[in-house]
Amino acid sequence: MSINSHSTSSAIPKFSIVMPSYNQSRYIERSIQSILLQGYPNLELIIIDGGSTDGSVEVIRQYNNYIDYWVSEPDCGQSEALNKGFSRCTGDIYGWLNSDDTYLPQSFQYAADAFKRVPKKNIVFGDWLSIDEHDNILDVNHAFDFSLGQFKYEGFHLNAQSMFWRAHVHDSFGGFDVSLNNTMDYQMIIEFGLQQGQQSFYRIPYILGAFRRYQGQKTSNFDSCVANEHKRIANRYGYSDKYTLIGMVKRLFYRTRRAIWYFKRGGISVLRIRLANWLSYANSK
């Protein structure tokens, strides 16, 4: 829960963005600029750096006047950094941007408009890009209408770097499990879905964020660890049947739903590309 009072502004809701960082001097300036250049008039930026030694702190200092709070000190990893950052948020709407990813222009305004238009929705998300180290677009990822069952049994169909949520959603969140090194976004979205209900999620037809892929990033080396973390999350949140025969049947159902959504969002060409990528990945295992 936040240690501070939330903003009371209703005309222009305040966005609180938390950026965890560790040794990302190559990209962090682009990430900071993607927030500041939104031109959004009611913004709070919080950066929690894990004691970087690569020049990241010097980059952060250059933007000191635009950052509401930042610290650089050793921590137990990204989950702890996120807990520390969100505990300081005072806004109406929260977001999380990794220090190597970026927001697209007008993302905050698109989200703010959506929250105003559908006040009963608590979590807004959109499409996202995959980009390389030079900001070249590698892929356009189409988000699907949220399904808690699909998220639990089959996998991601939205991205935390392209998602915003009301402050009270995070107040109800139990916090990031600091023992998770790779799947803290999965844990957060699972808990949001369980607590808020899938009807609280609202997809908008805009690309909101860009997720960077490059050689040596943490995500590129996590396959050997993520399966174990997913099992722990399934046990914690009560759907360990994911690893039984019935779970396999459910996964097949949601894989079919995914194919339908690929066709619905991108047409037959996107469906063919996704199926080819999936077959290539499966054959590599």
What are the residue ranges in the chain where pLDDT is below 50? 1-3, 8-9, 220
CATH code for the part of the protein at 15-239: 3.90.550.10
pLDDT for 277: 84
pLDDT for 279: 81
Distance of CA 77 to the CA centre of its chain: 16
3-state secondary structure of 238: coil
Non-local CB neighbours of 210 within 8 Å, separated by 6+ positions: 101, 102, 103, 104, 128, 129, 130, 131, 135, 161
Please state, in angstroms and rounded to a whole number, the distance separating the CA atoms of residues 181 and 218. 9
pLDDT for 278: 82
Output the six-digit token pair for 203.
């997809």
**Closest to 208 in 3D by CA, of 121, 106, 132:** 106
pLDDT for 216: 72
**Closest to 4 in 3D by CA, of 61, 50, 52, 69:** 69
pLDDT for 121: 98
pTM: 0.93
Phi, psi dihedral angles at 231 (to 5 degrees) = -65, -40
**Closest to 125 in 3D by CA, of 75, 183, 200:** 200
Q: Where are the domains of the chain?
A: 15-239, 244-285
Which residue type does 63 have?
Answer: Y
